[in-house]
Amino acid sequence: MTHRDTADERNRRNNGPQRPEVRPTRNMQDQPPRTVEPPKLPSSTRQTDRFSTASYRVRPAGQTAPTSPSRGRTRDPRHAAQPQAESSRSLRLPLAGKKKADESNAGTTFSQRISERVAQASYGPGSSGRFGSAGGAGTVHSETAGASARKPRKKNFITRSVEHWCNRLLGAVSDRSLADQEAEYASHRTTRDFIFNALGTGLWGLSFPLLSIVATQLVGVEQAGMFSMAFVTALVLMIVANYGVRTYQCSDLNQEHTFTEYQINRLITCLVMLLAGVGYCHFRGYDEQMFTICMGVYFYKMIDGLADVYEGRLQQMDKLYLAGISQAARSALAVIVFSAVLFVTHDLAVSCIAMAIAAAVSFVFLTYPLALFETPKSKGWQLNSLAALFKECFPLFLALFLYNLIDNMPKFVMEGVLSYDNQLYFNAIYFPAHGLLLMSQLIYRPLLVRMAAVWADPEKRLRFDIIIVVILLVVVGLTLAMAAIMGTVGIPVLGMLYGVDFEQFRGLVYIMLAAGGLTAAIDFIYQTITILRRQMAVMKLYLITFGFSLFVPVLLVNFTGLPGAVIGYLIVMCILFMLLIWEYGKIRLQLMREDKKKAQEELVRRRHDSTKIHPIKG
């Protein structure tokens, strides 16, 4: 055994197993150590471990590999004597890019260079940077490339949708052209229309009971009754803002009025609504707290009325599902903000103002741009056409306004006779009945445009009548189903939500459900008469019913209190329902006679043309 072999054997015993030794040749002995590039992997699998510090070096013969201090082994003294800057330059640098990297490293510290390399390695092969190029030259490769690289977490649908909408909105704002954007969502999606319209209508209808439940639990029955009264008044004033235009607008298939005219009409009516609300508060002599509550709720419902014309535009373009999304987002945001602020402050007035602000934010950032993005750009407006729109929709507005006065007359009567807690009790048992109206609207509202198209074809009038009968039967079925639910689990759940025993009102609940079924049928018949463009015929019926509502609830409430209000409500709804059925029958028979007369005249004309003798030329 030679002296050299003995020294090598001693090194192996002291330092453990070593890599295969590469003996230097004559040309290698005078050259410094060089870094050797690891074998390149295919582009599909080549990844970089951002935390790897592995290096590939060719060592002269007899030089041992450095060992880790953590294992109690000593490093080679020749490596320890090398400057840190030199070792850092040789660390993990490919041979092809070493010269350029050394030049670029001038003036930078070791930690800065390592940080830059680690940051570059985080983006994977092919990333550009100080030490890399477009083809991936200079990218750090690990011995375990791709083994520990993490894929970016996939975003959920809601996050992607919100980010896409924000980017689209910001791009349109920067271009200053909201109406010139290209539509991205398709029309005539019946399934989406039903689903999202149900979601929007459901959340809109549930907002009142949810808000009243939150108010009852956080600030008590008395203040919750005040909030309920303010909300009821706001619903009546909202009819002023809507002006009965929604059904007329979505059935305006020929676009006799431009969307700009519909917008101007809505801005005027919303301003009138706010002024009427201020006047009503002064007329009632409300104190500062009640006035603030009312104005917050009025502004919130005014935003609802303003958004309705843009959602009606989406429905007119057969994109009802987008209108449902807009309505759902606004209603949900209002409920969440109101509940959060009331939970923190226990101040009902401040919570109402916060709710109004939340509704305004949702309108500015969602409803308004969505309608402009997804519908054709509107033409200008003409004063004559705008005046004609006010004139044509006035009977609709008056009928709806009178109907809402009739519907809420018991509540107005109770405000002057009974305490505010009775308002809460009445509205609590009214909500299940109101649910019948909302469910029926979910069924027939998506069909209004198609019903108008069916009615426009004289040969399909019988089909139109069949649709009406079917929907009325559905309303009856919904009423019976709701009565069964309330009779079993509904009343206990209602008491649990409000913290009030409603078992004492079981009989009144059934009476209210019957009135709710009539209300749903009345609303549908009214929409049907609107499609027939016979609004003037309805106005006199509402005037007659309004006369009954002025004295029937007053007498019953003063005699029996809360039960009188519920019974009076049912009586008035029965009167209005019978009058509407009678009027619709008259209109339908009259139109049948007119169609029959036109058909006979057309037949006579054709016979006359066929028997006409034409002179022979020549």
Q: What is the pLDDT of residues 111-123, one digit of tens each?
A: 455 455 545 544 4
If you average pLDDT over residues 526-539, what whole number do you get? 78
Q: What is the pLDDT of residue 214?
A: 93
Residue 410 CA to chain centroid, in angstroms? 34
Selected residue with higher pLDDT from 153 and 273: 273
**pLDDT surpasses 60 at 80:** no
**pLDDT surpasses 50 at 242:** yes
Write the CA distances from 589 to 578, 583, 584, 598, integer angstroms.
17, 10, 9, 14
If you average pLDDT over residues 444-462, what whole number do you get? 78
Q: What is the pLDDT of residue 438?
A: 81
Q: Which residues pair with 302 in a beta bridge?
A: none
Residue 579 CA to chain centroid, in angstroms? 39
Q: Domain residue spans in the chain?
A: 3-37+46-67+74-122, 189-381, 415-612
Q: Are 478 and 520 a contacting pair, CB within 8 Å? A: yes
Q: What is the pLDDT of residue 456?
A: 75
pLDDT tens for residues 146-183? Answer: 544 566 677 766 777 777 677 777 776 766 666 666 66
Q: What is the pLDDT of residue 33?
A: 54
Q: What is the pLDDT of residue 601?
A: 76
Local confidence band at 143 (pLDDT 50, 70, 90 cut-offs): very low
If you average pLDDT over residues 303-315, what whole number do you get? 92
Local confidence band at 352 (pLDDT 50, 70, 90 cut-offs): very high
Query: Which one, of 509, 522, 507, lies nearest residue 475 by Cα?
Result: 522
**pLDDT surpasses 90 at 501:** no
Q: Which of 17-21, 306-310, 375-379, 431-435 has the highest mean pLDDT?
A: 306-310
The radius of gyration of the chain's CA atoms, rounded to the nearest angstrom, is: 39
Question: To the nearest 5 percent, what fractions of the chain are helix, strand and coil?
Answer: 75, 0, 25
If you average pLDDT over residues 249-270, what whole number do you get? 88
Query: Which one, of 120, 146, 151, 152, lies nearest residue 48 by Cα?
Result: 146
Query: Which one, of 96, 137, 138, lies nearest residue 113 by Cα?
Result: 138
- Two structure tokens written together for 209: 């009971």
pLDDT tens for residues 35-79? Answer: 555 555 444 444 444 334 444 444 444 555 454 444 444 444 444
The reply to whether the predicted model has a pTM over 0.95 is no
Q: What's the rounded Cα separation, in Å, for the pair 65 and 11?
A: 10
Share of the chain above pLDDT 70, in %: 71
Query: Which one, of 224, 202, 204, lies nearest residue 213 by Cα?
Result: 224
Q: Are 566 and 426 a contacting pair, CB within 8 Å? A: yes
Local confidence band at 570 (pLDDT 50, 70, 90 cut-offs): very high
Q: Across all residues in the chain, what is the average pLDDT?
A: 76
